[in-house]
A and B are shown apart, each in its own frame.
Chain A
Amino acid sequence: DTAVSQTPKYLVTQMGNDKSIKCEQNLGHDTMYWYKQDSKKFLKIMFSYNNKELIINETVPNRFSPKSPDKAHLNLHINSLELGDSAVYFCASSQGQQTNYGYTFGSGTRLTVV
């Protein structure tokens, strides 16, 4: 019964391709996030959605487009993949938008662009 599940766990693809990473949470949380961890281990937020509505959109190229069909799912679609997109992408969820709610992270998707 994984609380936040991401698929796939590993993704190897060629430059220029389009790919998607899926995220689902079964915790009943209202808010979901995408974080990127680069090769130096730096973790940075990319997007935040609350009840399917975009709340935070950090400086991320337009090639990245999150989609939330319902509050339990937040998928990340990436167009025209570049070498610099290689990273580990973490999905997370929380009960709400207030800071007193903790996060639950997925196990990450390691994306390698060759």
Chain B
Amino acid sequence: AQKVTQAQTEISVVEKEDVTLDCVYETRDTTYYLFWYKQPPSGELVFLIRRNSFDEQNEISGRYSWNFQKSTSSFNFTITASQVVDSAVYFCALSGYNAGNMLTFGGGTRLMVKP
């Protein structure tokens, strides 16, 4: 069985603050993929990143960065200099090799960025 936990249900920050969204996962697979998705108020699911279990390099894309630590089973997401447009629900997800490409989502973190 696989499980994803996003302990922060809601975070509120003021614009330009940095914010980190936590994600902890459980899986018995040695090969797996981790994802982050953004769900803005409009409702669609926007793909942000996919990372495989063999690649622990951190990744940066503009104001977004991801920290993958296999030792602690965590895949945290940081937004630098947050903006109002970053306000959304963010989902971490896991797909294990033996799970038939089934995505298991965390409960989501609602991020509110205030001007």
Residues of A whose CB lies within 8 Å of any CB of B are: 31, 33, 35, 40-45, 48, 55-56, 88, 90, 94, 96-105, 107-108, 110
Instruction: Tell me the interface secondary structure of chain B in the complex.
Output: strand
> Interface SS of chain A: helix, strand, loop or mixed?
strand
A55 to B37 CA separation, bound complex (whole angstroms): 24
Could you name 30 residue pairs across A and B whose Cβ atoms are closer than 8 Å?
A35-B103, A40-B107, A41-B89, A41-B107, A41-B110, A42-B107, A42-B108, A43-B105, A44-B105, A48-B100, A48-B101, A48-B102, A56-B100, A56-B102, A94-B101, A97-B100, A97-B101, A99-B32, A99-B33, A99-B96, A99-B97, A100-B52, A102-B35, A103-B35, A103-B47, A103-B103, A105-B37, A105-B44, A107-B43, A108-B45
Q: Which residue in chain A gives the minimum CB-CB distance to B42?
A: A107
Residue contact A110 to B43, C-beta cutoff 8 Å: yes
Q: Which residues of chain A have C-beta atoms less than 8 A from B43's C-beta?
A: 88, 107-108, 110
Count of B interface residues, CB-CB < 8 Å: 28
Complex Cα spacing A31 to B39, Å:
23
CA distance A107 to B98 in the complex (A): 27
